[in-house]
RNA sequence: GCGGAUGUAGCUCAGUUGGCAGAGCACCUGGUUGUGGUCCAGGUGGUUGUGGGUUCGAUCCCCAUCAUUCGCCCCA
């Protein structure tokens, strides 16, 4: 028999990793909820076109990272590589633009990208996603960033850096793009890496984001978009910055923060950790005012972010997680004891306690060991004597004190120890 | 798609100029006929990732392949 294994880049999540994930989800529900965000659950499969139209056909994500396949009728489907597109589709399809001024939507779940796995990067990974739709005001930008930073803090994460940039808008970006292209063409383009020479034609802004030392040096004095944005964009960005300043949210301006998805404009931001390997970006987002109309909806502005749960988990794993102690463990010492124990355990759980029992009457020693290993507070012994007397012997595992408690008195005992 | 590292017990890893496959942890049993954590004694557990090659003989050397992992690219 050949053994099955997970698909490359897909992972099983056992304790305690799974607990870290549910803790993050609970924290997200609580924090995002306090800002008025409502949870939205969307499918993980969408028509391929949705992602091409939103993310952009020239991006790496669309060109080489999507899990795409035809269904039984030949329609092209894609396992979502990010959440925003699906949420926008649902937002439009659900008629939200017509009945709400501002929609605040929050979602989380698995995403899929066909990339080479490495630390902090899986083919199936998980993101927390927030989208604020219908507000073009800089206050919305600031609130989204406040909320993200607040969430990260509540989740217990430290040592993070917030980077901020503006990408201009439909009005001013084409002009900047052109002047950047002119600048790049004036350089010794042979010294640029192969990728960047291609990017010059497809997406010149990404040349600025290149990590190759040669490209970095060559483009050091390139015009920045911050200098070239139009007056409304400049004002918008200024307001966002002063709102962050007023709340003492520290950030660094990074004029090269371009981001990989085409729909971003104006404010973009990224939260980076330096402690989890090469893939240090834990959250990223920005404004995408043209996206809703691009997908066939009305002209609604939007801003949001995605937060990578695996990367947060990597940071949290370095910290000790508190252990949950079960209240009881029932050790069985007579062949007929487990049948009674399973029912006694039910009564105890009804009384609000948590615990387990031994399904079989094995050696008492091994059962006590198990109780001890599970860090149970009390070990209940059920043997011949106890069955005859309709009672259990209860041992406090911390003090080693023992008492005898009648079956009927167990709810009262449970009360006394809870 | 490209580059490096690593595959030996459930886990973490030793090992041999090529000669019977090891330790710690975990697990089980006993020391204690019904009492855990410490201690002591014993025990279960391996086609040395897979397939070839060299050799009297390969876990070790060579080739291929698969997997894992770190990095590049890119992204959360």
Nucleic strand B within 7 A of Cβ A260: yes
Q: In whole angstroms, what is the distance from residue A149 CA to residue A65 CA?
A: 29
Q: Are residues A243 and A359 in the same domain?
A: no
Can you give the residue range of the structural domain that contains A257?
17-172+229-317
Within 7 Å: CB of A17 and strand B? no
CB of A122 lies under 7 Å from some atom of strand B: yes
Query: Is there contact between A221 and strand B, defined as CB under 7 Å from any strand atom?
Result: no
Dist CA A332 CA A360 (whole Å): 7
Burial grade of A40 (CB within 10 A; 0-12, 13-18, 19 or more): buried
The CATH number of residue A358's host domain is 3.40.50.800
Residue predicted with more confidence, A363 or A380: A380
Q: Are residues A250 and A286 in the same domain?
A: yes
Residues A50 and A69 in one domain: yes
More confident residue, A394 or A206: A394
Q: Which nucleotide is nearest to A82 (CA to C1')?
A: B76
Rounded to an integer, what distance in angstroms lies between the CA atom of residue A67 and that of residue A174? Answer: 32
The CATH code of the domain that includes A300 is 3.30.930.10
Write down which residues 392-411 in A have CB closer than 7 A to strand B: 393, 395, 397-398, 400, 402
Per the prediction, chain A carries an average pLDDT of 90
Do A313 and A336 belong to one domain?
A: no
Decide if A188 is inside a domain.
Answer: no
Predicted complex ipTM: 0.86
pLDDT 10s digits, A315-330: 987 666 667 889 999 9
Q: Are A330 and A346 in contact (CB under 8 A)?
A: no
- Say how many domains are in chain A: 2
Does residue A46 contact residue A77 with C-beta atoms inside 8 Å? yes
Task: Please name the helix (run of DSSP H) or strand (run of DSSP E) that holds residue A54, with its range, or none.
Answer: helix A48-55
Last residue of a domain, one of A285, A317, A349: A317
Q: pLDDT over 90 for what percent of chain A?
A: 64
- A326: burial class by Cβ within 10 Å (0-12, 13-18, 19+)? middle
Answer yes or no: do A249 and A276 share one domain. Answer: yes
CA atoms within 13 A on the CB side of A386: 26
Note the pLDDT of residue A1.
52
Pairing of strands A281-287, A265-273: antiparallel
Give dist(CA A39, CA A22) in Å, integer.
15
pLDDT at A172 over 90: no
């Amino acid at each position: 028999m050949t053994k099955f294994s997970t698909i490359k880049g897909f992972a099983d999540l056992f304790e305690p990793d799974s607990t870290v994930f549910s803790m993050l989800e609970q924290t997200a529900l609580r924090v995002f909820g306090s800002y008025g965000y409502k949870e939205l659950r969307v499918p993980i499969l969408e028509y391929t076109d949705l992602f091409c139209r939103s993310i952009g056909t020239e991006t790496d994500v669309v060109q080489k990272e999507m899990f795409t396949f035809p269904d039984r009728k030949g329609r092209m489907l894609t396992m979502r590589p990010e959440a925003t597109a699906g949420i926008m589709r649902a937002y439009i399809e659900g008629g939200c633009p017509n009945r709400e001024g501002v929609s605040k939507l929050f979602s989380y779940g698995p995403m899929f990208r066909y990339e080479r796995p490495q630390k902090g990067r899986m083919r199936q990974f998980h993101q927390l996603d927030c989208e604020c739709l219908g507000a073009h005001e800089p206050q919305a930008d600031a609130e989204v960033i406040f909320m993200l930073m607040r969430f990260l803090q509540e989740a217990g994460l430290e040592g993070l850096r917030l980077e901020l940039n503006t990408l201009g808008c439909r009005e001013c970006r084409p002009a900047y793009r052109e002047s950047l292209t002119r600048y790049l063409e004036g350089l010794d383009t042979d010294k640029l890496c192969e990728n960047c020479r291609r990017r010059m034609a497809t997406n010149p802004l990404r040349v600025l984001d290149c990590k190759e030392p040669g490209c970095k040096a060559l483009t050091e004095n390139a015009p920045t978009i911050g200098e070239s944005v139009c007056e409304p964009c400049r004002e918008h960005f200024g307001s966002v910055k002063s709102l962050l300043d007023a709340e003492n949210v520290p950030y660094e301006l990074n004029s090269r923060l371009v981001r990989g998805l085409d729909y971003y404009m104006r404010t973009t931001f990224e939260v980076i950790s330096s402690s989890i390997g090469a893939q240090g970006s834990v959250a990223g987002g920005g404004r995408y005012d043209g996206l809703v109309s691009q997908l066939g909806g009305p002209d609604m502005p939007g801003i949001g972010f995605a937060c990578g749960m695996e990367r947060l988990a990597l940071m949290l794993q370095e910290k000790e997680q508190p252990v949950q102690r079960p209240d009881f463990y029932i050790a069985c010492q007579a062949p007929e004891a487990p049948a009674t124990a399973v029912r006694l355990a039910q009564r105890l759980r009804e009384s609000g306690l948590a615990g387990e029992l031994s399904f079989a009457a094995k050696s008492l020693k091994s059962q006590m060991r198990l109780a001890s290993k599970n860090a149970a507070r009390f070990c209940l012994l059920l043997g011949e004597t106890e069955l005859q007397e309709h009672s259990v012997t209860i041992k406090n595992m911390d003090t080693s004190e023992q008492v005898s408690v009648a079956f009927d008195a167990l709810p009262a005992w449970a009360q006394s120890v809870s």
